[in-house]
Amino acid sequence: MTGKATRSQRWVFIGDSITDTGRREDPEGYGNGYVSRIREQLLVNDPACTTEVLNRGVSGDTVRELRQRWQADVTALKPDLLSIKIGVNDVWRSFDGAPDQAVNADEYRATLRGLLGEASALDCRLVLVTPFLVEPDRQEPMRREVENRARIVTELAREFRATLVELQPAFDAAMDASSAARWAPDRVHPSGPGHLLIARTWLKAVTG
């Protein structure tokens, strides 16, 4: 994490609860997760940093909800950097009793591709963050579906020349050394150390 952020830029982070982390209850609007940790590290790296960090995560969102608020939460903000992390709810709905709200792989790919096409017109740097599940059993059904969405994100990152942040390998390495519950007690929502792991992985991919 040696790189310094470009000054006077606007960085927008959009996604679901893992991005949200109570940002609307936070007077500063950053929430208590990886977005806040990233901002703090930017300031540590460069105390004169003036990069504006905007958290636009909404708990419970799938890519469908992301599409509905795209104009207000992305296009209108004119970001210099846009970080997108979405996908676990698209899968989770099939496992938590709301299958009608789940988003299958084809719809997920098509919707996200459409949003990335719109983002390309904004002339901003795109960062795609893969969904993950803190589940050590790699054959567990929900994990396999989440990894499917992660592969789609990887494909789209290549297609749109976006920076890719791969989180499943980072969490797998952490789980190899300690319990999964240390990083995400419910397998989906990271603990404090889990959010710090996301932030460090993101910064390594984005700033070098």
User: Could you write out the DSSP letters of every residue in 44-106?
Assistant: HH-TT---EEEEEE-TT--HHHHHHTHHHHTGGG--SEEEEE--HHHHHTTTTT-GGG---HH
Domain 10-207: top CATH class:
alpha beta
Phi-psi region of 85 (alpha: psi -120 to 50; beta: other; left: phi over 0): beta
Q: How far is CA 180 from the centre of its chain?
A: 19
Q: Considering 46, 73, 94, 189, which one is annotated as catalytic?
A: 189
Q: Considering 16, 17, 36, 90, which one is annotated as catalytic?
A: 17
Cα–Cα distance between 94 and 102 in angstroms, integer? 6
Q: Considering 100, 106, 123, 186, which one is annotated as catalytic?
A: 186
Domain ranges (residues) in the chain: 10-207
**Tens-digit pLDDT profile for residues 155-166:** 999 999 999 999
Answer whether residue 5 shows pLDDT above 50: no
Report which secondary-structure segment, H or E, holds 14.
strand 10-15
Cα–Cα distance between 34 and 40 in angstroms, integer? 10
Rg for the chain, CA atoms, rounded: 16
Its pTM surpasses 0.75:
yes
SS3 (DSSP) at 10: strand
Contact in structure between 153 and 130 (CB atoms under 8 Å)? yes
Confirm whether 73 is a catalytic residue.
no
Cα–Cα distance between 34 and 57 in angstroms, integer? 11
**Tens-digit pLDDT profile for residues 134-176:** 999 999 999 999 999 999 999 999 999 999 999 999 999 999 9
Confirm whether 189 is a catalytic residue.
yes
Answer whether residue 200 shows pLDDT above 60: yes
Question: What is the C-alpha end-to-end distance of the chain, expressed in Å?
Answer: 6
Confirm whether 179 is a catalytic residue.
no
Bridge partners, residue 125, by sequence: 81
